[in-house]
A and B are shown apart, each in its own frame.
Chain A
């Protein structure tokens, strides 16, 4: 089934530890995104990538890093986790080629991260 796979589904992490959230898509979408979703704040963009080899900062990038070595994978790394990074993290992708604007984003099922 075409879509986005995120791993792990949930994780409890000690503060100060390093963690990488994995995201893989099989739709050959050129653009990928990482969001965090918090109650009352909605979805906030952390980092994005318009194409393999390029990345950009979103609204809340501090404490996070990403890489885009190929089209399919877009891992998100927390270098040294802090409790304020407790959230639900969603990876998404889109096809930004002309004529595809109406398809919107495809989201993964999310990773629930708790930093203690």
Chain B
């Protein structure tokens, strides 16, 4: 079993829909949780970052972490065609251990 599991998709939704992307993990030591967005033929870029459990909102994006269930989510409201990309979850342990463990990524397409 992988340390981080992520549904690879592909996921296609109509423009304006709410998108839900999810990851599960097995390592209870993970404390920092991130979402990266990767456009085709580009490097991943940091989209959202959350420490420990809770929610964080940034514009149309909301990141949720439920450490009791070892489950994290990224919600995209009012999805736009420009949101079409691969989304990777990533997580790491506490300060001093910089190593990130990535999910395999979910490929998302927003249909105009």
Query: A residues engaging B (CB < 8 A)?
Result: 4, 31, 40-43, 45, 48, 50, 90, 92, 94, 96, 98, 101-110
> Are the CB atoms of B44 and A90 closer together than 8 Å?
yes
| Chain A to chain B contacts (Cβ below 8 Å), 7 pairs | A31-B98, A42-B105, A45-B99, A48-B99, A50-B98, A96-B95, A98-B95
Interface size on B, residues (CB 8 A): 24
Residues from chain B with Cβ under 8 Å of A107 in the complex: 43-45
Contact A40 B104 (CB under 8 A): yes
CB pair A42–B42 under 8 Å, yes or no, is no
Seen from chain B, the residues whose Cβ lies within 8 Å of a Cβ on chain A are 6, 8, 32, 34, 36, 41-46, 49, 51, 88, 90, 95-96, 98-100, 102-105
- For the complex, what is the distance from the CA of A31 to the CA of B43, rounded to whole Å? 17
Interface majority SS on B: helix, strand, loop or mixed?
Answer: loop
Q: Contact between A42 and B104 (Cβ–Cβ < 8 Å)? A: yes
Using CB atoms, name the residue of chain A closest to B105.
A42
Looking at chain A's contact residues, the main secondary structure is mixed
Known interface pairs A40-B104, A42-B88, A42-B103; A103-B95 also in contact (CB < 8 Å): no
